[in-house]
Amino acid sequence: MKAIIELGGRGSALSLARSQLAAAQTGGEIDYHLVFESARTLFSELTPARIDTLEHLRAHGPMTIYALAKEMNRNYSNVHGDVDKLLEHRLAEKDAENRVFVPWDSVEIHMALARVA
């Protein structure tokens, strides 16, 4: 399963929920969708440091926040804040040993730019 991060208007969440319900009823695989109303909001929530943290976790597997900060050569409190935001958005999870990991096979960001007439 994958996490898909995308831009969408207010009505897009309802449309997305309908399609996920239909997929669940037919036994299809349901991807996780995270929708932001604007690119500005997306990139304020998923900063470059948070995306780097997500990539590091995906590449290196579960680890404590302390180990993550040490491996990434970053300040512990900054990494902790970034991990909290990733957990809040369900892009990362914690296991029984309190290690952080990425539960998704892949994480994709979809962003269609507006067309100029």
Looking at the domain assignment, is residue 115 inside a domain?
Answer: no
Residue 69: inside a domain? yes
Residue ranges making up the domain that contains 13 = 2-110
In this structure, is residue 25 part of a structural domain? Answer: yes
- Give the whole-angstrom CA distance, residue 1 versus residue 12: 21
Q: What is the CATH number of the domain that holds 104?
A: 1.10.10.10
Quote the CA–CA distance of 20 and 30 in Å, as a whole number: 6
Number of C-beta neighbours around residue 68 at 10 A = 22
Full pLDDT tens readout for the chain, 117 residues: 899 999 886 555 555 555 555 555 566 677 888 999 888 999 999 999 999 999 999 999 999 999 999 999 999 999 999 999 999 999 999 999 999 999 999 999 988 776 666
Q: 80 lies in a domain?
A: yes
Statement: the pTM of the whole predicted model exceeds 0.85: no
Name the amino acid, one letter, at 93.
E
In a domain, 117, yes or no: no
What phi and psi values does residue 110 have, to the nearest 5 degrees? -110, 125
Domain assignment present for residue 116? The answer is no
pLDDT digits (tens, 9 = 90+) for 4-37: 999 886 555 555 555 555 555 566 677 888 999 8
Q: HSE, CB side, 13 Å, CA atoms: give it for residue 61.
A: 0
User: Could you tell me if residue 92 is inside a domain?
Assistant: yes
Which one-letter DSSP state was computed for residue 98?
A: S
The beta strand positions in 1-117, using DSSP E, are 2-7, 32-36, 93-94, 100-101, 106-110
The pLDDT value recorded for residue 27 is: 63
- Which contiguous run of DSSP H or E holds residue 22? helix 12-25
Query: Is 49 inside any structural domain?
Result: yes
Domain count, the chain: 1
